[in-house]
Structure 1
Amino acid sequence: MLGMITNINNAVNGVVWGTAGIVLLLLAGIVMTAVNRGFQFAHFSYWIKKTIGAIFRDKHITAHTSRDSRAISQFQSLCTAMAATIGTGNIVGVATAIILGGPGAIFWMWVMALFGMMTNYSENVLGIYFRRKGASGEWRGGAMYYLKDGLGSYRGCRTLGTVLAVMFSAFCLLASFGIGNMSQVNSIAGNMESAFSVPPFATGIALVIVASIVILGGLKRVATVAEKLVPFMAILYIIGAFAVIFAHIGTIPAVMSSIFRGAFAAKAAGGGVVGYGIQKAITWGFKRGAFSNEAGLGSSVMVHSSSNVKEPVQQGMWGIFEVFADTIIVCTLTALAVLSSGTVDLQTGAMVSQNAGAGLVGEAFGTVFGAAGGKFIAVAILLFAFSTTLGWSHYGATAWQYLFGEKTSVIYKIAFVVMIFFGCTMSLSLAWDLSDTFNGLMMIPNLVGVLSLSPLVARITKNYVDREIRGKDEKPMLSAFDEQK
């Protein structure tokens, strides 16, 4: 029976994350970039100013909502989304891409991110536009809502929109226990045992206690923790990565040459046929880029939709920044640290190190920090993976509430917390594969919704650009809920 499940899973996973799935994901990014007239490029300085730049000069970005309000601030929504996005993929995923796809995989990871910015942007625009308030007063948004109310509003598509919304919610719910929970905490437990000799059951107990306090407190508590944890862990890791890069600063020109040469060059990671080498670089670059920033999967929109913002484009710009920070900054720093440290032959792209995953990154950090390098990475994985678990707890809760109602959400939260302990103490090779599959299956209904509603996203974007950038006097296109009010 287990073998049959594995074979079915491998077949589905091959379709979802094979060439067809990757092409669909890239195509969606290209389409959304085209219909929005290259917003992420044409208005680069504007969205930087309105996102990370506004944190330091606009108190409304970071101001907490009132105690009786169930909405969260724009900055809290970003941090909660990035808590789920910045995870083990930024460390282990990047190392895997380099091992299997060579340095050239990093170039294709960048390409996926540049177009993925607009997929994530579009998800957030639709999330704000079609969100609704739940019985508790908390905003509810996500692919399930723009599938049912957006796609479902087209003639003859009501049933299709409803079915796809249920499918997305079911896949999200299952993925939350896998990629968002058990696989993350299993990585934490393994690294804590190898780096600090902490038994997995002890790690499990500690994580269950902390997670119970945070997750059972609801979205506002998750968001409050995320806005403190995410900047701290990101800055800590960035400082460590920069220390490694600056220690090997003389190799950076060769590193960059290796990345661009490997993206189109004659050899694969360990030598081989020209076409095969390029194919491996593209495939693993795209895969790791997609897994790292989750653009196109419809996940982070569920927390972005809980923001107190009214302008869909405003939250859309935070979606662009999310992908930019996750992949262009954090993943790139990991790649530069690994490639500059001597673990890879920069001329051939062949691996010099025998380590893999977190061990490879730990070895790179060890060239500067010595034995503490592996411990540094273990702590980074602890923070990154646990923050991912907190973010995904909200995604799963949103899917549960859509399927079963808000009153029963405590059942999901308790089950989610309990599974953390089992995730720390179990062997999870099959769970990793299954979670990858369900995570990828979320992509299909989500992209159907995003692509079918691309004309609406284009109109909302044009309306905002005309008003806020070009100074035209037009009525704003706010969320459907606000317009009805």
Structure 2
Amino acid sequence: MTKIFNMIYEILWGPILIPLLLGTGIYYTFNLRFIQVRKIGAAFKQVFGGMFNKKEKADKDGMSSFQALATAVAAQVGTGNLAGVATAIVSGGPGAIFWMWVSALLGMATNFGEAILGQIYKERVGDEITGGPAYYIRKGINSKFLAGFFAISIIIALGFIGNMVQSNSIAEVVKNAINVKPIFVGIITAILAGIILIGGISRIASFTEKVVPIMALVYILGSLGILIINIDKVIPAFKMIFVGAFNPKAVGGGALGITVMQAARYGIARGLFSNEAGMGSTPHAHAVAKVKHPAEQGLAALVGVTIDTVIICTITALVILTSGTLDSGLTGSALTQNAFKLGFGNIGVYFIAISLFFFAFSTIIGWYFFGEANIKYLFGEKGIMPYRLLVLAFLVVGSVLEVKVVWQLADIFNGLMVFPNLIALLLLSYKVKDVLKDYENKYLRKLDSVYLNKED
């Protein structure tokens, strides 16, 4: 089974999905006239200008723009920011980080489009507003089959299998830190998650808007502490990244057989896995944002990719490259943990353990929310409670499983859900362009905007 799953994974995430995701990012970048460059300043001003606005509460009409972004970032910032970056560097050399930046730059344009489509095609199911790719696939390109295929794929990939892996990551890191049996960690994780999930959209929004900014800030400050200790090695680390992107042999990659193609492949793949741009996950959060114009949430989506890949993945890479741990033979989260240990001693080990816990736990909440939107699409409100109980059961089971095969299966379903989402993104790109044109030509000038939500 491992060999079969690995073969399917290599085909999906090798010559098929990476070019499709990159191609979509390139298309959106040019079609929207480099929106991720032109509007990044305005995006940060919009997001953090309203960060402490307490007037907006999550309710049946959705979340505030910042809460929706926090929920999206909760899913984007996960174990991949620690383990995935380390794996990319080991497999593709330091140059992989450059290609990770390329994937982030292009992915920002794709994510902008996803957020806008989520806003345009959101709808009310029962008492609550919901949305996501299944909704814009069905209503936008009129394909019930592709919408259903996407919904089933993401429920399996993230809601069930993906959350098993996150639970396993938490159990492993807690066991290594304080030697608690995984089954107990799984039960506690399920109880904590259940307390949040049972409160619905309002409690999920309240959790993400409080925990995610603190979680990200603490990790960034800890990483900057390591970089200050190794300040003399920061410039050489950047040199390794830029040189390694085009000439891996010059930074020691030749001895490992690393080529430019490998550096690009691993960097782009890990970048896309980390920020999830084009994969159809984060639009579920952006769809329920209470904004006056859909383009406002598109701008918020630009910030999400920036925080995840450009900031957090980059500082993780710099910590690894400046610590001298690259030749240790370690990979994944163990490599990142060793880099922090060299900088902070045993405190570094616990720092990464705590960071991994919050990264993985916040991802569980985000992925649950994405799956719930698709449960609503398939079964309506009556499917929510059975889904919620199943997710909690999977968290307990996942804590005690050997997850290599499970990871591969999650990656396969992750890949399958990309196809219908990309088809919709390409076919509905004209809608995204129209929304952006309306925003720039009418809304910002306070004219009669077509997409202005008068109810807000």
Which of the five TM-score ranges fits, normalised by the shorter chain?
over 0.9
Which of 135, 145, 150 is the matching residue for 1:163? 145
1:252, distance to aligned residue in structure 2 (A): 1.0
- Matching residue of 1:133: 124
Which of 14, 17, 35 is the matching residue for 2:13? 17
- Matching residue of 2:450: 476
Question: Using the alignment, how far apart are the partners of 1:256 and 1:208 within structure 2?
Answer: 41
- Matching residue of 2:78: 87
- Matching residue of 2:246: 264
Matched, 1:339 2:295: no
1:32, distance to aligned residue in structure 2 (A): 0.8
Contact 1:91–1:334 (8 Å) recurs in 2: yes
SS in 2 for 1:133: strand
1:55, distance to aligned residue in structure 2 (A): 2.5
Contact 1:100–1:269 (8 Å) recurs in 2: no
1:269, distance to aligned residue in structure 2 (A): 7.8
Match of 2:78, as an amino acid? G
Which of 46, 51, 55 is the matching residue for 2:47? 51
Q: Which has the higher mean CA deviation after the structures are superposed, 171-180 or 384-393?
A: 171-180
Contact 2:162–2:407 (8 Å) recurs in 1: no
1:12, distance to aligned residue in structure 2 (A): 2.8
- Matching residue of 2:112: 121
Q: Percent identity?
A: 41
Q: Which has the higher mean CA deviation after the structures are superposed, 436-445 or 108-117?
A: 436-445
Query: Cα–Cα, structure 1 residues 302 and 269, in superposed 2: closer, same or farther, change >3 Å?
Result: farther
Matched, 1:314 2:289: no
Question: Using the alignment, how far apart are the partners of 1:31 and 1:402 within structure 2?
Answer: 29
- Matching residue of 2:222: 240
1:179, distance to aligned residue in structure 2 (A): 5.4
1:478, distance to aligned residue in structure 2 (A): 4.2
1:268, distance to aligned residue in structure 2 (A): 8.6
Question: Using the alignment, how far apart are the partners of 1:88 and 1:63 within structure 2?
Answer: 33
Contact 1:268–1:280 (8 Å) recurs in 2: no
- Matching residue of 1:109: 100
Contact 1:186–1:424 (8 Å) recurs in 2: yes
Question: Using the alignment, how far apart are the partners of 1:329 and 1:305 within structure 2?
Answer: 24
Which of 18, 21, 28 is the matching residue for 2:24? 28
1:39, distance to aligned residue in structure 2 (A): 1.1
- Matching residue of 2:56: 64
SS in 1 for 2:399: helix
1:53, distance to aligned residue in structure 2 (A): 3.6
Matched, 1:78 2:78: no
- Matching residue of 2:204: 222
1:52, distance to aligned residue in structure 2 (A): 2.4
TM-score, normalising length: structure 1: 0.90
SS in 2 for 1:272: helix
Match of 1:133, as an amino acid? R
Question: Using the alignment, how far apart are the partners of 2:163 and 2:58 within structure 1?
Answer: 30
Question: Using the alignment, how far apart are the partners of 1:132 and 1:453 within structure 2?
Answer: 18
Contact 1:95–1:356 (8 Å) recurs in 2: yes
1:16, distance to aligned residue in structure 2 (A): 2.0
Which of 200, 225, 232 is the matching residue for 2:182? 200
Query: Cα–Cα, structure 1 residues 475 and 93, in superposed 2: closer, same or farther, change >3 Å?
Result: same
TM-score, normalising length: structure 2: 0.96
Contact 2:248–2:258 (8 Å) recurs in 1: no
Which of 350, 356, 359 is the matching residue for 2:331? 356
SS in 2 for 1:295: coil
Which of 260, 269, 277 is the matching residue for 1:287? 269
Question: Using the alignment, how far apart are the partners of 1:427 and 1:66 within structure 2?
Answer: 38
Question: Using the alignment, how far apart are the partners of 2:193 and 2:4 within structure 1?
Answer: 33
Which of 112, 120, 136 is the matching residue for 1:146? 136
Match of 2:30, as an amino acid? A
Query: Cα–Cα, structure 1 residues 277 and 179, in superposed 2: closer, same or farther, change >3 Å?
Result: farther
Q: Deviations over 1:277-327 (max 9, x none)?
A: 101110000011001000001101111111112311001111110000100
Question: Using the alignment, how far apart are the partners of 1:177 and 1:431 within structure 2?
Answer: 13
Q: Deviations over 1:148-202 (max 9, x none)?
A: 11112xxxxxxxx211101100100101245531001101111111122121112
Matched, 1:381 2:356: yes
Contact 1:268–1:281 (8 Å) recurs in 2: no
Question: Using the alignment, how far apart are the partners of 1:7 and 1:457 within structure 2?
Answer: 41
Match of 2:112, as an amino acid? Y
Q: Which has the higher mean CA deviation after the structures are superposed, 382-391 or 368-377?
A: 368-377
Contact 1:147–1:165 (8 Å) recurs in 2: yes
Match of 1:129, as an amino acid? I
Question: Using the alignment, how far apart are the partners of 2:117 and 2:5 within structure 1?
Answer: 31
Contact 1:196–1:375 (8 Å) recurs in 2: no
Equivalent residues in 2 for 1:442-453, closer than 5 Å: 442-453=417-428
Question: Using the alignment, how far apart are the partners of 1:404 and 1:380 within structure 2?
Answer: 36
- Matching residue of 2:372: 397
Question: Using the alignment, how far apart are the partners of 1:309 and 1:407 within structure 2?
Answer: 28
Q: Which runs of 5+ in 1 are unaligned?
A: 153-160, 345-351
Query: Cα–Cα, structure 1 residues 254 and 134, in superposed 2: closer, same or farther, change >3 Å?
Result: same
SS in 1 for 2:325: coil
Contact 2:77–2:363 (8 Å) recurs in 1: yes
Match of 2:396, as an amino acid? F
- Matching residue of 2:37: 41
- Matching residue of 1:349: none
1:47, distance to aligned residue in structure 2 (A): 1.7
Contact 2:58–2:201 (8 Å) recurs in 1: no
Question: Using the alignment, how far apart are the partners of 1:250 and 1:269 within structure 2?
Answer: 18
Contact 1:95–1:338 (8 Å) recurs in 2: yes
Match of 2:273, as an amino acid? F
Match of 1:141, as an amino acid? G
Contact 1:244–1:367 (8 Å) recurs in 2: no
